Amino acid sequence: KQIYEAAKYYYIAGFFLTVSIESLKIVAEHAVATNKVFCLNLSAPFIIDFFGDNVAEAIPYADYLFCNESEAETYAKKHNLGEDLKEVALKVAALPKKNTSRPRTVVFTQGDKSTIVAVEGKVTEYAVEPLSKDLLVDTNGAGDAFVGGFLSQLVQGKDIEAAVKAGHFAARYIIQVSGTTLSKDCDYKA
């Protein structure tokens, strides 16, 4: 309890929804009660399909919701939200929310296509810098790297554009190496 109470930001990967929604809710309720930022990643289409009730319990706590296009499409199909991912992002951002002191920000990554961000009824797309196919090594961990980069700026009080830029940098880096090991010190400049 002392550990989670000391944190100012919380990030829960969707895989956690498969094991302990109760633990997630303890942390999420604390985040709401203390006005701390709670972030959720849907992580995989199967989580939406097979743990939909847990997803439904978790989303109201999410100040930031992350997923890739496959997860977004799966969520949209399951909840009849349509096929236009920008519209889906807006609809998810507008879902009921426990902490009403800040709007929900929804972030959909789409590989080499623009990242979609929906917040307060507005969608912004952030272009992904093209990467030569011969530099692409392994896409495992790209979404997690993106979120890591994004959160690195969010916790510093930077704006969404800066957070997405850092997320793109981190994802771009990780897809150029085998596995998810960092082979050098980070040279990112905000």
- pLDDT tens digits for range 52-61: 999 999 999 9
Distance of alpha carbon 41 from alpha carbon 107, whole angstroms: 9
CB neighbours of residue 127 within 10 Å: 11
Partners of 64 in the beta sheet? 39, 105
| H helix or E strand, kind and range, residue 114 | strand 113-119
Distance of alpha carbon 140 from alpha carbon 159, whole angstroms: 27
Tokens of 82: 């349509």
Q: Which pTM does this prediction carry?
A: 0.94
159 is catalytic: no
Distance of alpha carbon 71 from alpha carbon 144, whole angstroms: 14
Q: Which long-range contacts (CB under 8 A, 24 or more apart) does 119-123 make?
A: 119/93, 119/160, 120/93, 121/90, 121/93, 121/94, 123/86, 123/89, 123/90
Q: Which of 53, 144, 185, 187 is an active site residue?
A: 144
CB neighbours of residue 190 within 10 Å: 11
What's the mean per-residue pLDDT of the chain?
A: 94
Q: Tell me what pLDDT residue 117 has.
A: 98
Distance of alpha carbon 83 from alpha carbon 74, whole angstroms: 10
- pLDDT tens digits for range 8-50: 999 999 998 999 999 999 999 999 999 999 999 999 999 999 9
Q: Which residues contact 83 (CB under 8 A, 6 or more apart)?
A: 73, 76
CA-CA-CA-CA torsion sign (89, 91, 92, 94): positive
Spell out, as residue ranges, where the chain has pLDDT lower than 50: none
User: What is residue 66's three-state secondary structure?
Assistant: strand
